[in-house]
Amino acid sequence: MIDRWDGERREAPAESRIILTHTNDEVRQLNLAARNRLRNAGELGQEFAVQTGRGERVFAAGDRVMFLHNERGLGVKNGSRGIVESVNQVRMAVLLDDGRSIAFDLKDYAQVDHGYAATVHKAQGMTVDRVHVLATPGLDRHAAYVGLSRHRAGVGLHYGRDDFADQDRLAATLGRERGKDMASDYPLPAQVSEKAPEPPRNPFAGLRLGVARATDEPERSPLARAVERYARAMLDIERLGRRGDPLPHQAAALRTARDGVNAIRPLASRDLASAFGADPQLMEEAARGRPAAAIQAMQLEAEIRVDAAQRADRFVAEWQKETLRWQGYRQNGDVVRAEHTVDRMRDMAKDLQRDPQLESLLRNRRIELGLKASGGQGLSHDLQDHSALSRGRGLGR
């Protein structure tokens, strides 16, 4: 079952999917099995052990996560799912399946678990593209109906031979009424049983999970291939010096590559573009088939994107760097480059209007930005005015 789930995930990464079963113990094992596929493929970031409402769990950027309790402040409900954008021992940022990004301290909200699998009960009201249902003796007609009707495109039913000797037994279990459970579903009273208790049954015994064949060179993950394609498309445009006006075939290739990488990791193209802008060598390496460093930089960009404090640090550093660059051009009499630098600084200042959280944090760092400690019309306006005044002073001073 995990092989089939993983194969479909690789073939159609943009589709939503879930594995459903009966108990939380089964969900736990399935979550671990599914997550191991992503980890072995290199699709997860640095791992952190965090304390959740269900005990310790290991999360990394790229993990599927499920919310277990309603929380109006975060805008999540019991059963909401998303992808971890960044995580450490105390804080997690998640891109929800509805497109919203949220971040929260785990001391305030820790009711999360991996979101690759869920109980049938938890899936009531859920609709995804593809569903895999693991049938166990605890299911009945109602649960089977819920599990087998959560899909848009396809559903697979899986069972173990230790649970059901044949499909007739399977059909009988899935067709029984909820109120007519079998006596074997319930343990006998302790005083009646003379047999020693048996060890817990492994719900996955009998399932044949395919083993990937060993190869001389490990198969590259879908994310690595997608990052490489995106880097090649961007590099092709940049090498021709037509980044702002690509040729039609270049624009089409970039759109395809962008959609492909975003299907695997939402907003990945945005984070990669930032990483490549900061270090063009990453783009060169990724385009040559070595995307590991680019993927790490992309994950760091994702963390910065959802963490206002890190965005503030970056803004101050970039503003100071641009200021020094402008001063150097000005002293050397390089009018064109000095004006281009001021234009970039003005764009940075204007962008603050679209990020009020960042602008609020930067108000306490005005001196670091070359401004007076107190200002008049707002930080964005003051920075634009500051760069404009600098530009108007001429190059001779």
Q: At what angle do helices 292-306 and 280-287 cross, to 10 degrees?
A: 140
Does any domain span residue 256? Answer: yes
- Residues 141, 255: one domain? no
Residues 143 and 239 in one domain: no
Q: Is residue 195 part of a domain?
A: no
Domain boundary among 112, 144, 175: 175
**Does 162 map to a domain?**
yes
Q: Does some domain include residue 33?
A: yes
Q: Is residue 228 part of a domain?
A: yes
- Determine if the pTM surpasses 0.75: no
- Residue-level pLDDT at 217: 38
The answer to whether 4 and 156 are in contact (CB under 8 A) is yes
Q: Which of 110, 145, 175 is the last residue of a domain?
A: 175
Residue 82 is inside which H or E element, if any?
A: strand 81-87
Q: Tell which residue, 227, 228, 218, has the closest CA to residue 264.
A: 227
> Which range among 41-45, 195-199, 229-233, 344-348 has the greatest average pLDDT?
229-233
**pLDDT band (50, 70, 90) for residue 79:** very high
Residue 190 pLDDT > 80: no
Tens of pLDDT, residue by residue over 224-278, are 889 999 998 888 887 665 445 677 777 888 889 999 998 988 888 888 988 898 8
Q: Do residues 320 and 276 share a domain?
A: no
What are the beta bridge partners of residue 157? Answer: 133
Asked whether residue 77 falls in the same domain as residue 98, the answer is yes
CA dist., res. 271 & res. 299, Å (int):
8
Whether residue 207 is predicted with pLDDT greater than 90 in this model: the reply is no
- φ and ψ at residue 91, rounded to 5 degrees: -145, 150
Query: What pLDDT was estimated at residue 50?
Result: 93
- Mean pLDDT, all residues of the chain: 81
- Dump the DSSP string for 185-208: GSPPPTTT--SPPPPPP-TTTT--
Among the candidates 148, 175, 202, a domain finishes at 175
- Tell me what the mean pLDDT of segment 194-198 comes to: 51
Token pair for residue 380?
Answer: 């964005």
The CATH number of the domain holding residue 96 is: 2.30.30.940
Most confident of 210-224, 234-248, 323-337: 323-337
Least confident of 68-77, 201-210, 349-358: 201-210
Q: Report the pLDDT value the prediction gives residue 334, as an integer from 0 to 100.
A: 87
Q: What is the model's pLDDT at position 339?
A: 86
Q: Which of 257, 347, 339 is nearest to 294 (CA)?
A: 257
Same-domain check for residues 5 and 132: yes
In this predicted model, which residue has the larger pLDDT, 85 or 249?
85
Task: Say yes or no: 39 and 65 in one domain.
Answer: yes
Whether 73 is covered by a domain: the verdict is yes
User: Pairing mode, if any, of strands 151-159 and 128-135?
Assistant: parallel
Angle at 15 between CA 11 and CA 20, to 5 degrees: 100
> How many domains would you assign to the chain?
3
Residue 387 pLDDT? 57
- Could you tell me what percent of the chain has a pLDDT over 90? 24
Structural domain contains residue 186: no
When pLDDT is averaged across residues 122-133 and rounded to a whole number, the result is 90
* Chain segment 269-293, per-residue pLDDT in tens: 888 988 898 888 899 889 888 888 8
Q: Are residues 279 and 305 in the same domain?
A: no
Same domain, 253 and 281: yes
Range of the domain at 318: 300-387
Most confident of 77-86, 328-337, 352-361, 371-380: 77-86
Q: How confident is the model at residue 213 (pLDDT cuts 50, 70, 90)?
A: very low
Judged against a pLDDT cut of 60, whether residue 211 lies above it is answered with no
| Dist CA 23 CA 229 (whole Å) | 41
Are 312 and 270 found together in one domain? no
CB-based contacts of 312, cutoff 8 Å, min separation 6: 358, 361, 362, 365
Most confident option among 40-44, 50-54, 326-330:
50-54
* 38 plus 136 within the same structural domain: yes
Assess whether 283 and 306 both reside in one domain. no
- For every residue of 245-290, DSSP letters joined together read S--HHHHHHHHHHHHHHHHHSTTHHHHHHHHHHH-HHHHHHHHTT-
Of the pLDDT bands very low, low, confident and very high (cuts 50, 70, 90), residue 198 is: low
Q: 3-class DSSP state for residue 4?
A: helix
Which is higher by pLDDT, 181 or 166? 166
In this structure, the answer to whether residues 282 and 312 fall within a common structural domain is: no
Within-domain flag for 199? no
pLDDT at position 394 is 46
pLDDT category at 199 given cuts 50, 70, 90 is low
Judged against a pLDDT cut of 60, whether residue 371 lies above it is answered with: yes
**pLDDT score recorded for residue 386:** 72
